[in-house]
Amino acid sequence: MNLVLTGISTALVVGLASAIVNADRREVGQVIFSPPVVSAPLLGLVLGNSLIGLQVGAVFGLLWIGKQGCGTRKAPNDSLAAMACVGASVISGASAAAVGASMLLSVPLARIGGMLDLRRERKNIDLGEIVYNAEGSEWNGILAKTLARGVFRSAVEGLIFGTIATLMIGTIVSLVCKFVPPSLNQSFKDIPALLPACAAGCALAAMPGKSPAVVFIIAALCLALYSFLWGFV
């Protein structure tokens, strides 16, 4: 029971952090604490494990470093994915295997977050049109209301996304690390060591059609397969 309550409270903390980070990406000042290299270590510090925050921030900060949004094509939301990864790692035991498995499962969340960013951007355009069409005497009041609506929507999305994603991934990783063979568990421990490979993979970001995230997932799965097979040799 205590473990369940601890997991829920951790997920809520991650959700609150995700709300702040998600709003910082667009609606609030952009004071540059939303990138994973900043937000993940800060969250790790709050949750009592700064090392996990540093590991996650370094890896997720590199995965999409060359992917910038352009027009209707938005960059993946690496901030929300990193928040969920840190929280899931802590919930599932904060072991090296838990961190590696959480990284692997959290990478796709960045794409989902990117779709939410695009949806929110379209909503913000609609709010901008309301401000543009406002009468002169009402402009200030309408501007304040529309800004508040945009920030509130962004924060709520981050809160819900961060809390649910942390609980789901944390639960899955806990079960996986408990029941998988020791050889596969060992492979999860090696995933954070892919950081140098991520740095090399970032060079692919400048190449059209290439994604460092895909390289990371393929390399992680190959490493897991190799470690698993090696356990039978």
For the chain, 233 residues long, give each residue's pLDDT as a single digit of tens. Answer: 565 667 788 889 999 998 888 888 766 656 677 888 888 999 999 998 888 998 888 888 877 776 655 554 567 888 889 999 999 999 988 788 888 888 888 988 888 888 887 777 776 666 666 656 666 656 566 666 667 777 787 788 889 998 999 999 999 988 887 777 776 666 777 676 666 566 555 555 555 555 666 766 777 788 778 777 766 54
- How many H-runs (helices) and E-runs (strands) does the chain carry? 10, 0
Do the domain assignments include residue 121? no
In a domain, 124, yes or no: no
The answer as to whether 91 is a domain residue is yes
Domain assignment of residue 52, yes or no:
yes
* 162 lies in some domain: yes
Residue 192 in domain: yes
- Residue 35: CB atoms within 10 Å: 18
What amino acid is encoded at 6 in this protein? T
User: What's the whole-model pTM score?
Assistant: 0.74
In a domain, 140, yes or no: no
Per residue in 126-152, is it b (16+ CB within 10 Å) or e — as a string? Answer: ebeeebeebeeeeeeebeeebeeebbe
Domain that holds residue 218: 2-114+154-230
What's the structural domain count of the chain?
1
Length of the chain: 233
